[in-house]
């Protein structure tokens, strides 16, 4: 297996990681990334296959579980119940309960709210002066939508966003001790808020996701309060983080390419072309030989989702943004048991918000060179200054 070295915090890489992915992919389906000290699946076929291979999973084999330092105990107390980090049978039970409440009917019913919220944010755009469309449009829409879905008041959205940002920073290559302390504090505060809110909903049920999850618990599904708290945190963190980045990256791409027609195919091409999450890891659960490499139990493999999305064996001229491409399944939402439960909601938000933005702001243009934030393995802009109509 060919070895490569490239710091994921390198400024050039942060701004454009795709040339490095091309180099990795040219070495075969697997390549070794020194900074992560693990093999990376780089091709579409390898990423697609490992995502669905039950010999790999997210949960660390129990005999290899690391010791949690005291200062991170509060953070990992929440993570211990996250279906994103679990395998069957716990994952099956948690995901089933979420999908019972997170139905296609409930998601579809959000369409009028997403439409009204999109218009509300555009109405508030500054006139005559450049502004950051990330904070004015891309961030508030997803966080308010997921807050309403959960049943949390709109005025809590900014605080939810702060807690969420602090927690997801734990998965960034630029993570520091300061990041860890902030994440632990946010996890504790977020948990305390939700514990109180769950108690309130038990006494005063509503037609929201928290109430439906509580009902499932009370019907003998054995969903504990800690599992309820973690599931709500996961839905918020995962439910808005990717959509914020995809909206920002998508608006940037549409403006740079002069794309005016926005339909479901355009949204799929946005997701493929510049996805919000670039890496997802798995652990091997037995000795496995794949693509010429033997994995031992507990070995990790990094699945480079964005590299898979730029595989020329799957998409002709993959570095070209082409909204009229025939839709082929990309890896932006993962796959297999851990396929993103929020994918239908994310797609709906993009399919509603972007056409309205383009219809109401046809002369919108980029006001300064966009820059991506140093948040790998996430990939999103730190700001996107635009000139208003």
CATH number of the domain within which 235 lies: 1.10.630.10
Q: How many residues does the chain have?
A: 389
The secondary element (H helix, E strand) that includes residue 107 is helix 104-108
pLDDT of residue 230: 94
Residues 6+ apart with CB under 8 A from 303: 40, 41, 47, 50, 51, 279, 280, 281, 282, 331
- Predicted confidence at residue 208, as pLDDT, reads 87
Closest to 279 in 3D by CA, of 301, 299, 304? 304
Q: What pLDDT score does 212 carry?
A: 85
Calculate the CA 97 to chain-centre distance. Answer: 20
- pLDDT at res. 221: 63
Which of 119, 165, 367 has its CA nearest to residue 252?
367
Per the structure, how many domains does the chain have? 1
Write out the residue range of the structural domain in which residue 234 sits.
3-387
Q: What is the pLDDT of residue 154?
A: 87
* Distances, alpha carbon 358 to alpha carbons 16, 60, 243, 273, in Å: 26, 45, 18, 19
Low-confidence ranges of the chain (pLDDT < 70): 217-222
d(CA 72, CA 79): 11
Report the predicted TM-score, pTM, of the whole model to 2 decimal places: 0.94
pLDDT for residue 218: 53
Task: Check residue 217 and give its pLDDT.
Answer: 58
Helix (H) / strand (E) element for 385: namely: strand 385-387
Q: b/e per residue, 70-108, with b = 16+ CB within 10 A?
A: eebebbbbbbebbbbbbbeeebebbbebbeebbeeeebe
pLDDT of residue 360: 96
Query: Residue 222: what pLDDT?
Result: 65
- The reported pLDDT for the residue numbered 335 is 94
């Amino acid at each position: 297996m060919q070895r490569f070295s490239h710091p994921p915090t390198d400024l050039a890489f942060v701004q454009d990681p795709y040339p490095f992915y091309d180099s990795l992919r040219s070495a075969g389906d697997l390549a070794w990334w020194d900074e992560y000290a693990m093999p990376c699946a780089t091709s579409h076929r390898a990423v697609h296959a490992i995502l669905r291979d039950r010999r790999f999973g997210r949960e660390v084999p129990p005999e290899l579980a690391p010791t949690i330092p005291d200062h991170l105990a509060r953070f990992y107390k929440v993570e211990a119940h996250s279906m994103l980090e679990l395998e069957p049978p716990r994952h099956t039970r948690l995901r089933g309960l979420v999908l019972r409440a997170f139905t296609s009917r409930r998601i579809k019913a959000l369409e009028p709210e997403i439409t009204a919220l999109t218009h509300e944010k555009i109405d508030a755009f500054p006139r005559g002066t450049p502004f950051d469309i990330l904070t004015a449009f891309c961030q508030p829409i997803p966080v308010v939508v997921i807050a309403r879905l959960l049943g949390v008041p709109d005025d809590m959205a900014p605080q939810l966003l702060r807690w969420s940002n602090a927690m997801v920073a734990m998965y960034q290559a630029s993570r520091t001790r300061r990041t860890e302390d902030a994440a632990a504090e946010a996890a504790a505060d977020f948990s305390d808020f939700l514990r109180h809110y769950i108690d309130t909903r038990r006494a005063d049920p509503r037609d929201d996701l928290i109430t439906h999850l509580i009902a499932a618990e009370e019907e003998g599904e054995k969903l504990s309060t800690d599992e309820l708290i973690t599931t709500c945190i996961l839905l918020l963190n995962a439910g808005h983080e990717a959509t914020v980045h995809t909206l920002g990256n998508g608006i940037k791409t549409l403006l740079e390419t002069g794309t005016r027609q926005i339909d479901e195919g355009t949204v799929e091409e946005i997701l493929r072309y510049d996805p919000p999450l670039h890496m997802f890891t798995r652990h091997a659960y037995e000795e496995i030989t794949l693509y010429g490499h033997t994995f031992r139990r507990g070995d990790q493999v990094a699945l480079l989702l964005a590299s898979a999305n730029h595989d020329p064996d799957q998409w002709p001229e993959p570095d070209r943004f082409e909204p009229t491409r025939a839709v082929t399944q990309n890896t932006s939402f993962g796959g297999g048991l851990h396929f993103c439960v929020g994918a239908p909601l994310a797609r709906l938000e993009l399919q509603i918000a972007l056409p309205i933005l383009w219809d109401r702001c046809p002369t919108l243009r980029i006001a300064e060179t966009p820059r991506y934030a140093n948040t790998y393995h996430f990939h999103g802009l730190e700001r996107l200054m635009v000139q208003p109509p």
